[in-house]
A and B are shown apart, each in its own frame.
Chain A
């Protein structure tokens, strides 16, 4: 456990060293928040609710969803690169579990991202963009737990895409494709409650809404009490299920390494 802890810390240090990407990332989040702000204000111009959500609720939802959606990509590309240039063979010989290492690096990145990006952005959103406080006191711990589960699901899905590099050359395209689909079905663009019936039913069968929609809805109070607890249970089930799938795919992928002789 200790070695993974150290890896996580090294990733945090690494992230703080690359300031150009930090500023670029922060700038693009601010741009997106400005667009969201102007767009929804224009939508609510002549009305007080859209699909029973007020402007305030919509702004709170979409801003938080945008921030949370930033966590949905991760170390998958690093894995894909290692597969591509062959260094994965050496990685596999080293005295750690490569997947655990990647998850540790991923968490390190996300912890530094939370402190350096998300928290300042959240502050800006509270002060200038009219994001409201959590619905209730008990929503806070539930939101944090739910967000954590969602982020962990995101990490696993990202790793699955990364593992695809064992079979496909062009993982970049697959990542863009995955990004587009998750951006929509996680509810990061519009709350899933606004989806047409059939699409809402469809997303109920997919893990994506556990990644953004569930945590943010707990925050805004759209999901509360028993329903919220139930949603947390579903998230946990998805997380376990996806970990199992990921590890299975991984065991198939590893066999391929030995086939072409490392």
Chain B
């Protein structure tokens, strides 16, 4: 464990050096993610200029759901972004063989080889949105609430990561599963809206199959007194743990059947 921590620190330092080398790129990257998330906030704000509530949900509550989603996503985006490149940067060009011959956990290497600074953009806007919406939820913010918030955000990030890991693993059989990952990730947008505006089918999928519901709406609902979803919200950390475990076991299974592309 200590060895891995030290290794990660080494990887991290090199990444920071690269980042410092390309400062304009850093700014563009952070701004790009910031504005991408910002436009969705602007969208909600414009809609709420014309109405008061959506299916009983207020503007502040909607913002709070967004904030959890953005913070969770920023963790995954910053630290686990390299999973996206497993197919086209590792398996297809034969780089994964290089990873396999080293005496370090292959998944650790793939993850550690990249820190995606762009994620900071969504972290910043997530915090802004959180601080503007949280005070108006009618909740006492004590130590317990803040601790719960941290647990929920980490769980959200873990679920984003686990889903990506699961579908990235398909690359071991199909060389590059990027299109599948992309399509699956699109469904995470559903979770940014209160789940009860969707039909039963969508709700079922996002709760039990691809648990994106637990990346935003459910954890946020824990802080919304009258949401009626607090009993579901409590399961968020458990779902996060199970998702990561299942994804990792699947990864191990994929690793065993990996044969290389011969390139």
Across-interface contacts of B190 in A (CB, < 8 A): 31, 34-35
Whether, in the assembled complex, A170 has its beta carbon less than 8 Å from a beta carbon of chain B, the answer is yes
Whether, in the assembled complex, A251 has its beta carbon less than 8 Å from a beta carbon of chain B, the answer is no
Across-interface contacts of A189 in B (CB, < 8 A): 39, 43
A179 to B43, CA, bound (A): 15
Of B28, B193, B199, which is within 8 A of A174 by CB?
A: B28
Do B193 and A24 touch across chains, with their CB atoms under 8 A apart? no
A50 to chain B, nearest CB (A): 5
Do A184 and B186 touch across chains, with their CB atoms under 8 A apart? no
1/0 contact string of B99-122 vs chain A (CB within 8 Å): 000000000000000000010000
Do B193 and A43 touch across chains, with their CB atoms under 8 A apart? no
Known contacts A31-B187, A35-B189; A45 and B28 CB within 8 A of each other? no
Across-interface contacts of B182 in A (CB, < 8 A): 24, 28
1/0 contact string of B27-70 vs chain A (CB within 8 Å): 01101110110110011001101110011000000000000000
Chain B's interface size range is 35 or more
B239 to chain A, nearest CB (A): 21
A52 to B169, CA, bound (A): 49
1/0 contact string of A182-213 vs chain B (CB within 8 Å): 01100001100011100000000000000000
Known contacts A169-B25, A180-B32; A24 and B183 CB within 8 A of each other? yes
A25 to B180, CA, bound (A): 10
A199 to chain B, nearest CB (A): 8
**Residues of chain A from 1 to 42 with CB closer than 8 A to chain B in the complex:** 20-21, 23-25, 27-28, 31-32, 34-35, 38-39, 41-42
Do B42 and A184 touch across chains, with their CB atoms under 8 A apart? yes
Across-interface contacts of B55 in A (CB, < 8 A): 42, 45
Across-interface contacts of A195 in B (CB, < 8 A): 46
Which 10 residue pairs of A and B lie closest in terms of their CB atoms, listed nearest first? A170-B25, A24-B179, A177-B32, A176-B32, A28-B186, A42-B197, A180-B36, A24-B183, A173-B29, A173-B28
Across-interface contacts of A175 in B (CB, < 8 A): 32
Across-interface contacts of A24 in B (CB, < 8 A): 179-180, 182-183
1/0 contact string of B169-199 vs chain A (CB within 8 Å): 0000000000110110011011001100111
A173 to B42, CA, bound (A): 20
Additional pairs, 17, CB under 8 Å, beyond known A169-B22, A184-B42, A195-B46: A21-B179, A24-B179, A28-B186, A35-B190, A38-B198, A38-B202, A39-B54, A43-B51, A50-B51, A170-B28, A173-B28, A173-B31, A174-B32, A177-B35, A180-B39, A189-B43, A190-B46
Do A180 and B38 touch across chains, with their CB atoms under 8 A apart? yes
Known contacts A31-B189, A38-B193, A196-B49; A184 and B39 CB within 8 A of each other? yes
Do B32 and A42 touch across chains, with their CB atoms under 8 A apart? no
Write 23 A-B pairs (CB below 8 A) sorted by A numbering.
A20-B180, A24-B179, A31-B187, A35-B189, A35-B193, A38-B193, A38-B198, A38-B202, A39-B193, A42-B193, A168-B25, A168-B28, A170-B29, A173-B25, A173-B29, A173-B32, A177-B28, A177-B35, A180-B39, A184-B42, A194-B46, A194-B47, A195-B46
Known contacts A31-B187, A180-B35; A39 and B25 CB within 8 A of each other? no
Known contacts A41-B197, A169-B22, A184-B39; A196 and B189 CB within 8 A of each other? no
B116 to chain A, nearest CB (A): 11
Q: Specify the chain A residue showing the minimal Cβ separation from B31.
A: A177
Q: Specify the chain A residue showing the minimal Cβ separation from B188.
A: A31
Across-interface contacts of A32 in B (CB, < 8 A): 186, 189
Do A43 and B47 touch across chains, with their CB atoms under 8 A apart? yes
B18 to chain A, nearest CB (A): 11
Across-interface contacts of A196 in B (CB, < 8 A): 46, 49
Q: Specify the chain B residue showing the minimal Cβ separation from A28.
A: B186
Q: Specify the chain A residue showing the minimal Cβ separation from B43.
A: A189
B251 to chain A, nearest CB (A): 21
Across-interface contacts of B238 in A (CB, < 8 A): none
Q: Specify the chain B residue showing the minimal Cβ separation from A45.
A: B55
Whether, in the assembled complex, A148 has its beta carbon less than 8 Å from a beta carbon of chain B, the answer is no
Q: Specify the chain A residue showing the minimal Cβ separation from B25.
A: A170
A28 to B185, CA, bound (A): 9
Do A181 and B39 touch across chains, with their CB atoms under 8 A apart? yes
Of A34, A50, A184, which is within 8 A of B43 by CB?
A: A184
Whether, in the assembled complex, B24 has its beta carbon less than 8 Å from a beta carbon of chain A, the answer is yes
Across-interface contacts of A41 in B (CB, < 8 A): 197
Do A20 and B50 touch across chains, with their CB atoms under 8 A apart? no
Known contacts A20-B179, A194-B46; A31 and B197 CB within 8 A of each other? no
Whether, in the assembled complex, A51 has its beta carbon less than 8 Å from a beta carbon of chain B, the answer is yes
A168 to chain B, nearest CB (A): 7
Across-interface contacts of B36 in A (CB, < 8 A): 176-177, 179-180
A47 to B50, CA, bound (A): 11
